[in-house]
Amino acid sequence: KCIFFKSFQLSGLIQVIKDLANAFIPSGKLVELVDKGLAPLVKTLPSPFSDEIQGIADVSGTPLGEIMLFNIFYEVFTVCTSLVAEDKTGKLLHARNLDFGLFLGWDTHDHSWKVTEKLRPLVVNLDFQKNNKTVFKSTGFAGYAGTLTGMKPGIFSLTMNERFSIDGGYIGIFEWILGLRDGMWMSFLTRSVLENATSYDEAKNQLAKTKMLAPAYFILGGVKSGEGCVITRSRESCLDIWELNLKEGRWYVLETNYDHWKEPLFLDNRRTPAMKCMNKTTQMNISLATIYDVLSTKPVLNKLTTYTTLMDVVEGKLEAYLRECPDPCMPW
């Protein structure tokens, strides 16, 4: 029943994406390309993603190419805010807003993004188990095989933010479609690390070194004082690791979609308001509740915000909240 319900909503979302594509290329050629062109590529994905995406298509009754498109989409249109903070007892807290659907059809009547609206009902919290024991927990979307937000209880927490950059952009994704397949999808790497890394250091190492299809930011938190960092990646290499440093007063690291050593784009500055809010809260009073307040401050909360996830890795607690941003509210 649940699968039927979610797949019904998934078809609704895919229809919106197809309508948008048809509006750009009215002949319907793009949609034809999705149905015929993307489906054969599923087999080229690494295990376990290939089988899973095939399985999602079979169970939901949605054409394989469309499920593949849905799985590629997140690699392209996600903007976010992620942070790791250490409270005064040395406990690490990790949280993120996932903002999705930029440029994907603004609805002037409802003041909302069409895709973002369709996506909210697909948000699910998942518990990945092996031999009946939790390996990791995540916030995901029904029908989506990669991971953008997750936690390995008692070990580490991890979120991925998109990095828009000219030294990489989406060339890697096109190369992959054309047959050059030595890089890894960013959300697949996130999931692999959550599934298979067994410590904060091992996770950090894999996230810093694995070759990828596009640049990204990985925000990683551990369980010991000082274990928290933002890893800035190009496709090929690690450009920077920005770590917590309590001696220097850096009790949190916060990442949106810009390199931390550069100014954010003035049209999209969610970083300054979020940091101002964190500074005002102070380390003395930081908790999941006060972090939720920070992530609810406009424009950190905006019309693209789909969910807020709060993670306490020591307690093994992961909570997600569906978000709406009442008017007046920034489109992004």
Query: Given the complex with ligand NAG, which of 15 and 129 has the nearer CB atom?
Result: 129
Task: Give CA–CA dist 243/220, Å, rounded.
Answer: 9
Interface of this chain with ligand NAG, residues 57 to 76, rule: CB under 6 A? none
- Site map for ligand NAG, 241-260, x if CB under 6 A? --------x-----------
Query: What is the DSSP secondary structure assignment for residue 41, as one 8-state letter?
Result: G
User: How far is residue 175 CA from its own chain's centroid?
Assistant: 22
Of positions 25, 265, 272, 322, contacts ligand NAG by CB under 6 A: 272
Count Cβ atoms within 10 A of the Cβ of residue 211 and give its class: 0-12 exposed, 13-18 middle, 19 or more buried. Answer: middle
Interface of this chain with ligand NAG, residues 8 to 47, rule: CB under 6 A? 47
What would the two tokens of residue 311 be?
């993670």
Q: Does 82 bind ligand NAG (CB under 6 A)?
A: no
Of positions 198, 237, 245, 279, contacts ligand NAG by CB under 6 A: 279
Instruction: Considering only the stretches 72-80, 85-93, 101-109, 282-290, report the one whose residues sit in contact with ligand NAG under the rule CB under 6 A.
Output: 282-290
Specify whether the CB–CB gap between 254 and 271 falls below 8 A: yes
Task: Give CA–CA dist 155/174, Å, rounded.
Answer: 35
Specify whether the CB–CB gap between 148 and 74 falls below 8 A: yes
Q: In sequence order, what are the beta bridge partners of 244?
A: none
Number of continuous H segments (helices) and E segments (strands) in the chain: 10, 14
Q: How far is the CB of 247 from ligand NAG (least distance, A)?
A: 13
Instruction: Considering only the stretches 52-60, 95-103, 252-260, 287-295, report the one whose residues sit in contact with ligand NAG under the rule CB under 6 A.
Output: 287-295
Query: Given the complex with ligand NAG, which of 112 and 192 has the nearer CB atom?
Result: 192
Query: Given the complex with ligand NAG, which of 51 and 110 has the nearer CB atom?
Result: 51
* Residue 32 phi, psi (nearest 5): -60, -40
Query: What is the DSSP secondary structure assignment for residue 212, as one 8-state letter?
Result: B
Specify whether the CB–CB gap between 157 and 51 falls below 8 A: no
Token pair 């927990």: residue: 137
Q: How far is the CB of 271 from ligand NAG (least distance, A)?
A: 8
Specify whether the CB–CB gap between 57 and 63 falls below 8 A: yes
Q: How far is the CB of 278 from ligand NAG (least distance, A)?
A: 7
Interface of this chain with ligand NAG, residues 122 to 151, rule: CB under 6 A? 131-132
Query: Given the complex with ligand NAG, which of 9 and 283 has the nearer CB atom?
Result: 283
Show which residues are catalytic. 80
Q: Which residues make up the interface to ligand NAG (CB under 6 A)? A: 47-48, 131-132, 191-192, 195-196, 249, 272, 275-276, 279, 285, 289-290, 293
